[in-house]
Amino acid sequence: MRTICFYFQVHQPLRIKPYRFFDIGDDHYYWDDYSNKSIMRKVAQKCYLPMNALLLDLINHYNGAFKVSFSISGVCLDQFEAYAPDVLESFKKLVATGHVELLSETDGHALCALKSKDEFTRMVKTHKEKIKKHFDGYEPRVFRNTELIYSDSIGATVAEMGYEGILTEGAKHILGWKSPNYVYQNSIKPELKVLLKNFQLSDDIAFRFSNKTWADYPLTTDKFVRWINNIPKEEETLNLFMDYETFGEHQWADSGIFEFMRALPNAVFNGSDFGFSTPSEVLKGAKMISTIHVPTPISWADEERDLTAWLGNDLQDEAFGKLYELEEKVKQIDDAEIQRDWVYLQTSDHFYYMCTKFFSDGDIHAYFSPYDSPYDAFINYMNVLSDFILRVDKRIKEKNAK
């Protein structure tokens, strides 16, 4: 039987409060607690709680034949603890069914894989410990990096950490004529299996579902099943990867997105030769067809599927560079608040808000940003970073003076 692998990214950043130049050296708390709590509770009511309840119903109704997987960022887990313990409990109920897989990632939903192998491996270990703590000793075996960022060398590092597989984007410029509907292997560490997102069918749900100007609107389960039946029979794995906030937040409830998901398993079981599997089950059951070569990092963001959503313009590069200049100093400091802020300041969203792209991708960036412009995002972040640098330097001086 061919299989559908659903993967959902669950992430909410800790947003920085308005932080003025005159706050530098005086105010050392950077986080907008009111906004973070308000947004978390809003998304919980619109997405997390109703969608978790729906998935639990489907898993129970189909006796485990319906399965999904999640990666939940560490910064999101921290906010569940603080603002939405009911959401955390609902995820625990899903995992307890035995038919939901949790994936590893970086604790801070960070871009550290692009800059520091040490920081990357440290953050992955921290995230792994958080998953263990919250989910009764659960140990993920499959990895997905922040925003599905992947390259041959990142994959090799992930393999060294003992993971069986990794998820990434089925980018056209990497695949060429190949299909994303197979299992591939890393070019440096061939024991690491690579699952690729089918971005066409994933984005039909995640981005186009409620778009009334889309030629295929409205998307029904019957139509979707017809499409997957058109996939060549030898292509055994359909990877549908998307933000979990697709359900109820990006695609509102009145679009019919919840009804679509509730009806999809029945349509698949009765109208196709597909079933559902978790990433680990896919990796166990499917054979690798070939090596995939990704010398330059890819991601699942924007039209280019590269890193330009977060890095590449002068604002992003200056902020990113200044932040990671602090790594060696921060390692020497035994201070819980500095270590916390170090992790949260690495969250990729801060750099995403500084993106200066225009046209369609620019619209998407503006939708997610709490700032009026990328320049406001940069100024606010750099003010905070300036204060953080002062704190770090002060602690290093105190340490050296002992």
Average pLDDT over every residue of 363-391: 88
Q: What share of the chain has pLDDT > 70, as a percent?
A: 97
Average pLDDT over every residue of 266-294: 95
Tell me the Cα Rg of the chain.
21
**Distance separating alpha carbons of residues 31 and 380, to the nearest angstrom:** 12
Packing angle, helices 74-83 and 33-43, rounded to 10: 90
Nearest CA among 175, 181, 148 for reference residue 294? 175
**Distance separating alpha carbons of residues 111 and 80, to the nearest angstrom:** 22
Confidence (pLDDT) at 302: 86
Residue 359 has pLDDT above 80, yes or no: no
Total residues found in the chain within this entry: 402
Catalytic residue among 147, 169, 245, 249: 147
Average pLDDT over every residue of 33-54: 98
Given a contact cutoff of 8 angstroms between Cβ atoms, the answer to whether 282 and 236 are in contact is: no
**Per CATH, which fold does 2-292 belong to?**
7-stranded beta/alpha barrel (3.20.110)
Residue 360 has pLDDT above 70, yes or no: no
Confidence (pLDDT) at 366: 54
Nearest CA among 148, 166, 263, 280 for reference residue 205? 263
Q: Spell out a b/e string for 175-193, using b for 16 or more CB atoms within 10 Å of the CB, else e.
A: eeeeebbbbbbbbbeeebb
Q: What are phi and psi of 7, to 5 degrees?
A: -130, 130
The pLDDT tens digits for 317-332 are 999 999 999 999 999 9
Residue 131 has pLDDT above 90, yes or no: yes
Average pLDDT over every residue of 25-48: 98
The pLDDT tens digits for 87-100 are 999 999 999 999 99
Residue 363 has pLDDT above 60, yes or no: no
Neighbouring C-beta atoms of residue 253, cutoff 10 Å: 14
Average pLDDT over every residue of 63-88: 98
Residue 267 has pLDDT above 70, yes or no: yes
Average pLDDT over every residue of 37-41: 98
Confidence (pLDDT) at 85: 98
Model confidence band, residue 362 (pLDDT cutoffs 50, 70, 90): very low
Nearest CA among 275, 248, 244, 267 for reference residue 71? 244
Active-site annotation holds for 119:
no
Confidence (pLDDT) at 119: 98
* Pair type for strands 274-276 and 2-10: parallel
Model confidence band, residue 399 (pLDDT cutoffs 50, 70, 90): confident
Domain boundaries, the chain: 2-292, 314-401
Given a contact cutoff of 8 angstroms between Cβ atoms, the answer to whether 170 and 237 are in contact is: no
DSSP 45: I
Confidence (pLDDT) at 361: 47
Average pLDDT over every residue of 226-255: 97
The per-residue DSSP string of 211-276 comes to: -TTSTTPSP-HHHHHHHHHTS-TT--EEEEEEEGGGBTTTB-GGGTHHHHHHHHHHHHHHHSSEEE
Residue 84 has pLDDT above 70, yes or no: yes
Given a contact cutoff of 8 angstroms between Cβ atoms, the answer to whether 310 and 351 are in contact is: yes
Confidence (pLDDT) at 358: 59
